[in-house]
Structure 1
Amino acid sequence: MNDFSWGQLVNPEFYIKLGGIYLVLFIVFAETGLFAGFFLPGDSLLFLSGIYSKELIREIIYIKSDFLSVFLLSCLISIAGIIGNEIGYWFGKKSGTYLYNKKDTFLFKKKYLFQAKEFYEKHGGRAIILARFLPMLRTFAPIIAGIVQMNKGKYLLYNVLGSTAWSFSLVFAGHYLYNIFLNEFNFDLKRHIETIVLIMVIVTTTPVVAKLLFQKNKDKSQD
């Protein structure tokens, strides 16, 4: 820890080596369960966890099978994500009552709450699933769902689907892509963690930026 630098906080390998599977699961939970978790690594952490799946699972139980190790790790991460989302939804629902009773101010307009509620009624399921794969949005989507009082049963269903798809796709991708690159091309992904993180950030944030720019241009054309 004497060589600690602030840049390590965005490096998922730092968390894996620091706290192992327990810290990985806490971070997955904190990204949506704790309001301040938006700055924590998400997609890149899961991808890298797939690479270190055997080491992580052996902290809990010894499993010889590669597939079972990756499968169990994906299940645990999925559960942590589901619980985190449920906490975020609960927090939003509790604070939503206050916001609906709050008077409009310069920074707060109640009409945006009703617009968000209308959006979640039409596209809430898709929003919850897709937000899982997008940094920042996966932190706030559950909270907003709670604020606008999205149907609890519907929310839980899409929470489970989104968390499962997110965890299994990224963990399995990390594990098997690592083996393919190592065995077929003699290319060790562990030695290029910074590049992997950068690629993951670009891939997951580009759709969000593109959507914002498209919406901004659309609004200008309508003015």
Structure 2
Amino acid sequence: MELINSFLPAIEAFGIWGYWLVLVISVAEAMPFIGLILPGGVVVGFFGFLSAQGYLNIINLIWFAAAGAILGDGIGYYLGTKGMAFFRIENKIFKLSHLKKGEEYFRKHGSKSILFGRFVGVLRPIVPFVAGLSGMDKRVFLFWNVIGGVLWSITYLLTGYFFGSALPAIEAWSTKGGIILLSLLVSIIGIRIILRRKRK
């Protein structure tokens, strides 16, 4: 908690720019380049946590994150329409194996993969690219992209928000739990000492 508190003044200084930062992170996380190495969902969830501490408005965060996710996937789709030049066997980040996994997932789930793929690790930034590569209809892509972007934003931000809201209770119970465990440990040690003395 002390580590988190050290970040709070910096976040507070961002003001409205904090929302734009969430948008940029959401865009980057959805792209087939940065999205492979950026844990954007975790970072966005952290902003939900900060919202619970009163630093940012959760509704505004949801809209900014959703807009970023939709835009990022849109960029991935557009790049997919330009071909697969980014992926090479020898490339350690843009691996052909990642692309193949995305293609298999897309074939299995079709247009709905745009929605479901957002929540599947390495496939998240790959599926929109594959959709563009396969020539998926733009209107169908946009439909699932918008739904997926909004749901992704709500899921990660509210997870962080609820954790932040519950943190005081968690800390209180962890303190009480520590006292109880310590008391039990002392009691067990004391009982063992008494039993050993009786045996002697």
For this structure pair, what is the TM-score category when the shorter chain's length is used for normalisation? 0.5 to 0.7
Identity %: 29
1:30 and 2:28 correspond: yes
1:74 and 2:62 correspond: yes
Using a 3 Å threshold, how does the CA distance of structure 1 residues 184 and 38 change in structure 2: closer, same or farther? closer
With the length of structure 2 as denominator, give the TM-score of the two structures: 0.62
Q: Mapping of 1:68-147 within 5 angstroms?
A: 69-95=57-83, 116=103, 120=106, 123-147=109-133
Q: Any gaps of 5 or more consecutive residues in structure 1?
A: 1-12, 58-68, 99-106, 189-223
Q: Mapping of 1:117-196 within 5 angstroms?
A: 120=106, 123-183=109-169, 185-186=171-172
Given that 1:49 and 1:171 are in contact with CA atoms closer than 8 Å, whether structure 2 keeps it comes out as: yes
| Paired AA for residue 85 in structure 1 | D
Distance in 2 (alpha carbons) for counterparts of 1:74 and 1:28: 11
Q: RMSD across aligned C-alpha pairs, in angstroms? A: 3.2
* Superimposed CA distance per residue, residues 100-155 of structure 1 (whole angstroms, 9 cap, x where no aligned partner): xxxxxxx98xxx7xxx4x97466223211111112221111110110001111111
Distance in 1 (alpha carbons) for counterparts of 2:173 and 2:58: 21
How far residue 184 of structure 1 moved from its aligned partner, in angstroms, is 5.9
The size of the alignment, in residue pairs, is: 149
Q: Any gaps of 5 or more consecutive residues in structure 2?
A: 1-6, 86-94, 175-200
| Paired AA for residue 167 in structure 1 | S
Distance in 1 (alpha carbons) for counterparts of 2:127 and 2:32: 12
Q: Computing the radius of gyration over CA atoms, which structure comes out larger, 1 or 2?
A: 2
How far residue 186 of structure 1 moved from its aligned partner, in angstroms, is 2.7
| Paired AA for residue 25 in structure 2 | I
